[in-house]
Amino acid sequence: MKGDWREGYSVQFMRLLRLAGTAPLLAAAALLGCGGGSSSNGVASETPTQILQAAKAAADGAASAHISGSIVSEGTPISLDLELLAGKGGHGQLAESGLSFQLIQVGKYVYVYGSAAFYRHVGGAAAAQLLQGKWLKAPVSDSNFASIASLTNLSKLVDTTLASHGTLARGASATVDGQKVVAVHDVSQGGTLYVASTGKPYPVEVVKNGGNGGRIVFDRWNKAVTLVAPATAINISQLQAGR
C-alpha cells in the first residue's frame, strides 16, 4: 500500500504510544493504595527518606496491584487503569486527550487495541478501517514499545515514580479512604505522598495540585490478576513490512 498511512506508521503511532506510556511516570507523583492491617508499622515516626524507602520495599515485594487515576501532563489530560502482576505483565487501558487504547503484556509480547478515534488520529481513515476491532502485537524488546511495556512492570513503575522527587519533609498522620497514613511532602517539586502507617507500608496516595497535577490510585495489593493474550492479533512486523 505504497503512499498510504503506513508510510508514517512507525513515527506517528509509536510517538503517541511512547507519550502515553511515559507521561504518567514523569508528571504524576500520585499513587494510592491500601496497606491493610490495624497494627502500627512504625513508619509514622521515621524520617521522610526512611518512609519512602519502606514504601518502595513494600511495593517491590507485592505480588500484584491495581493502578488507576488521571493526571495532566503539559496541558494534556491522561488517564490510566491498569492491573499488574509482578514479573508477569499486566493489562488495562490508557487515554490521552480522549484517545484511548487497551494494553496487555503477557510474557515477551505487548498487545495494543486502539479505539477507532485513536487509530484515525495516528494513521488516518485508512488505519482506522484496517485496524478496527483488531489487536496489534509486538515483542517487549521492540524499542518503540519499551515505554509501554514498562507500564506493566509493577516494580519498575513504582521504583521510577518514587525515585522522582525533590526535598522531602514528613507531614502529619491522616486517614485516606479509611486507611491510616503518614504524609511525606515534596517541598521543592510539590505533591504529597501518603504511606500506610498500619500493616504493610504501601504507597497510599500522592496528590499533586496545579496545572500539571492529578491523582492516581494504587490498590488491590496482592489480589489475583489474570492475564490472557488476545487469540488473534496483527504482528506489527507485518505492518512495517507492508509499508
Within 10 Å of residue 82's Cβ, how many Cβ atoms? 22
Pairing of strands 64-73, 203-208: unpaired
Asked if residue 242 has pLDDT above 60, the reply is no
Length of the chain, please? 243
Asked if residue 10 has pLDDT above 60, the reply is no
Inter-helix orientation angle 48-60/154-163, to 10°: 170
Closest C-alpha to 138, from 107, 110, 101: 110
> Which triple of cell numbers denotes residue 156?
519498575
Residue 168: predicted pLDDT:
92
What is the mean pLDDT of the segment spanning 79-97? 92
Q: How far apart are the first and last CA of the chain?
A: 6
Residue 106: predicted pLDDT:
93
Count, in order, helices (H) and strands (E) of the chain: 6, 12
**Which amino acid is it at 237?**
S
Taking the C-alpha atoms of residue 54 and residue 64, their distance in angstroms, rounded to an integer, is 17
Asked if residue 40 has pLDDT above 70, the reply is yes
Q: What is the mean pLDDT of the chain?
A: 79
β-partners of residue 68 are: 81, 217
> Which triple of cell numbers denotes residue 97?
486527550
Q: Taking the alpha carbons of 221, 225, 230, 236 in that order, is the dihedral positive or negative?
A: positive
Q: Where do the structural domains in the chain lie, given as residue ranges?
A: 5-241
Which strand (E) or helix (H) includes residue 87? none
What is residue 63's DSSP assignment?
Answer: S
**pLDDT higher at 29 or 183:** 183
3-state secondary structure of 46: coil
pLDDT tens digits, one per residue of 150-193: 788 888 887 777 777 889 999 999 998 899 999 999 988 888 88
Give me the percent of the chain exceeding a pLDDT of 70: 81
pLDDT-derived band at 11, boundaries 50, 70, 90 = very low
pLDDT tens digits, one per residue of 205-233: 878 887 778 887 788 899 999 999 998 89
What is the mean pLDDT of the segment spanning 27-33? 34
Asked if residue 45 has pLDDT above 50, the reply is yes
The domain over range 5-241 is classified in CATH as 2.60.120.650:
no
Write out 162-207 in H/E/C secondary structure: HHCCCCEEEEEEEEECCEEEEEEEECCCCCEEEEECECCCCEEEEE
